A and B are shown apart, each in its own frame.
Chain A
Amino acid sequence: MICTGCSCLCDDVVVDEKVRHACRIGASLILNRNVARAEPMVDGRKTDLDSAIESAIELLKDSNKVLIYGLNYSTLEAQRIAMKLAKKIDAYLDNGLRYDLAEKLLDGEVRIATLEDVRDYAYVMMFWMFDAHNEMPRLMSRTYYARGKKRQRGYEEDRFLVVVDVRRSHTAMLAKKNAIFIEYDDELIKEFETAIRGGLARREVLKVVGELKKSDFNVIFTREFLPFANEFGYIVPTIPQTNAMGFYKVLREEGGKIGRLEELDIDTILVVGDDPLNDLPLNAIPNFIVIDPKVSFTSKIARVVIPSAISGLECGGTMLRCDLVEMKLKPPFKSEIDDVEILKRILRGL
């Protein structure tokens, strides 16, 4: 199956009596799939699925300003329908993440490398303010440690690892041989820019820039836009939310309105597979409609809860990997209802 624990979307995971090759995030998703499942609820009372969907439609009809929040863990198909829904009721959209890097990537302003290309050709790999082992655990074993077509001698000789962070993260612990750890400060981006143009900078930065000349395929793993990205080489966007890249792409294709929760006077939020009450500082609590396979903080206070299926595990579809490669999901289990079906029914009812 394809693991949907993070945006690595590992395609070698085997599920039989045990879960093989998946990291702890993926294994937990699969092993605990029946734990804390959501049930259809309206105003705190249990009900059946049809009346929960009916109530959601009524609530949306009565609202003035609606925000559709989340969608990071849904398939491209579900995201497309959510965007159509947003157009129909003139709702805002938000996935709770930054947009700067995704905008630049989709505009083609920075070059993007796929994980397979990184494995086969990359020499310098820079992890910029990103602790791979806690967010996308298998990313390093699939790229840095793996041996590729042109990089057969392993990480000690054929790779140069750079870890930039404010602290010694788990990823930084691995910067040992042929590697360097740089502590982040405000001047670092500027210093990289000047050093790449031949100027002076601190010793560590100059060492990294010196290493860049040894290969024409160098890569930065980052989730923010870096002005020196193109001179450095390629970028792999590392947003750990499973299908966040899909959200940006679909948003670009369908053309939706972005709205930040804190800036708008929203009266109803349609949450799809996310937990804004846990993540965001909300001043006032609006009406929540939650579509989620699991119980969350938000679903505890939501007006309407509609249970769904876990994408990739119980329902199929397509997702975009962190490097914008399309992956077709192969769910090992089946579910009667999923995000696509629920959103379609709401769209039809409005």
Chain B
Amino acid sequence: MDIYKLLPKTNCKLCGEQTCMSFAFKLIRREKKLEDCKPLFEPEFEEQRRKIEEMLKVVEKATETGLVVNEDLCIGCGNCVVVCPVHVYEDPEGAGSGYGVRIERPILMVEDGVVRVVDVSLCRRYKDKTLCVACRENCPTSAIAFLEEL
């Protein structure tokens, strides 16, 4: 929504989308590029363009599911690894029981004291598009965030 507010909002359709709103959504999902919005590169929108580019830097760090991990804040407690419903189902003896995750390609894993995203293809947000926020909700230091909430 913040990106949409900075777009020209003329619904000019030059990018191939019907509205600026749908362009903003596709921009976050990485289906469109900022360069597709031609009017934004005109001098009058320069300041807005710069702001959007700044915002997109955060988007680039995010995974396909919109998960962003701030490693500076993470304390490696492993709450996210243990509460993840997929981990519990796939690895009941390991992550489900409070130990380190034992499956080969987990979603999250604590490495060198901070949580790292290993493979999001198992995540419920990736497969079924469920809006699961178990990992974010149980992070004590707010090191985990999702793009839609930023």
Residues on A facing B (Cβ under 8 Å): 12-14, 18-28, 31, 119, 133-134, 137-138, 140-143, 145-148, 154-155, 170-171, 173-174, 176
Contact = CB atoms under 8 A, between A and B. Distances in A.
B112 A23 contact: no
B3 interface: no
Contacts, number: 97
B114 interface: yes
A12 B100 contact: yes
Contacts of A140: 77, 79
A23 B75 contact: yes
Contacts of A27: 76, 112-114
13 contacts: A18-B111, A21-B110, A26-B76, A26-B113, A133-B77, A145-B82, A145-B98, A147-B92, A148-B97, A154-B88, A155-B83, A170-B141, A174-B79
Return the 4 tightest CB-CB contacts between A and B, nearest first.
Answer: A146-B98, A21-B100, A27-B113, A170-B140
Contacts of A174: 79, 138, 140
Interface string B65-87: 00000000011111101110000
A137 B96 contact: no
Report whether over half of chain B's contact residues are helix, strand or loop; otherwise say mixed. loop
Contact of B109 (A12, A20, A138, A173): A20
A145 B97 contact: no
B110 A22 contact: yes
B134 to A, nearest CB: 9
A19 B112 CA distance: 5
A170 B92 CA distance: 27
A141 B98 CA distance: 6
Contacts of A20: 100, 109-111
Interface of B: 74-79, 81-83, 88, 92, 96-101, 109-114, 137-138, 140-141
Contacts of B96: 146-147
Contacts of B101: 21
Contacts of B79: 140-141, 145, 174
A119 B113 contact: no
B137 A171 contact: no
Contacts of B138: 145, 155, 174
A137 B77 CA distance: 5
Contacts of A24: 74-76, 113-114
B113 A147 contact: no
Given A27-B113, A154-B88, A119 B97 contact: yes
Contacts of A143: 98
B113 A14 contact: no
Contacts of A141: 77-79, 81-83, 98
A120 B114 CA distance: 27
A28 B76 CA distance: 11
A103 B75 CA distance: 32
A31 B98 contact: no
Contacts of B77: 23, 133, 137-138, 140-141
